[in-house]
Amino acid sequence: MMANFTAHEQVGQPAGTQLYRLQQDDQTLSFRDVINFWRTNPEFAAFFAQLLAASPYRDFRWETPPLTIASLGQPFEFALHDSPGLAPFPQKAAFAPQFAAQPGNEPAIAFSNLGGDAILVVPRPLVDDAHYRHLASFCRGAPAEQQIALWQLVGEQMAERAGDRPVWLSTAGGGVSWLHVRLDDRPKYYRHGPYRQLPHRP
């Protein structure tokens, strides 16, 4: 039996911002649920990628609230920010050393950034470079199997990283024009004000 995943846009957001929560069979998904589904459920990963691809924004940034182990049971949500002109030219060379350092057939890799305060999850170039400029172009043009693999790796990294210190999961792309999902120690590039705040303790 196929799972019934749905997305619900939250009303009352500023112009140029969409905010979503997810459900399975009318039950709101928690952060724990989503991380687990990214890791283990290709059907969910495909649903999630298709949801992002359907955004009316040609270019967008993706942000989630900060996560700690204490907030894993909170409802999962994310924001999309309309970002016209984001990452116009793909810069594959930016991550060439990391691709070379992890040879193999993995569709995506994970590594620490230069500052050591973030983990980056990055897709390898398997098709036209234009499909890797940012998350929107990736969800609309990269192979479906690679999209599922990227979210699986994001889920694995989030499961490892979740602890007492908050993690901010997002994409930006203003500095490097190649998709890199960020697991950050701080909301370095965040636009959604409420997501810059630390999670409330239950």
Residue 22: count of CB within 10 angstroms of its CB: 23
Beta bridge partners of 18: 80
Distance, first Cα to last Cα, the chain: 35
Identify the CA nearest to 147 among candidates 166, 129, 132.
132
The full length of the chain comes to 202
> Coil, helix or strand for 178?
coil
Q: Cα dist. 156→36, 55, 109, 125, 162 in Å?
A: 8, 25, 11, 21, 10
In a structure prediction context, what are the per-residue pLDDT tens digits for the chain, which is 202 residues long?
A: 457 999 999 988 889 999 999 999 999 999 999 999 999 999 999 999 999 999 999 999 999 999 999 999 999 999 999 999 998 999 999 999 999 999 888 999 999 998 889 999 999 999 999 999 999 999 999 999 999 999 999 999 999 999 999 999 999 877 899 999 999 999 999 999 999 988 655 4
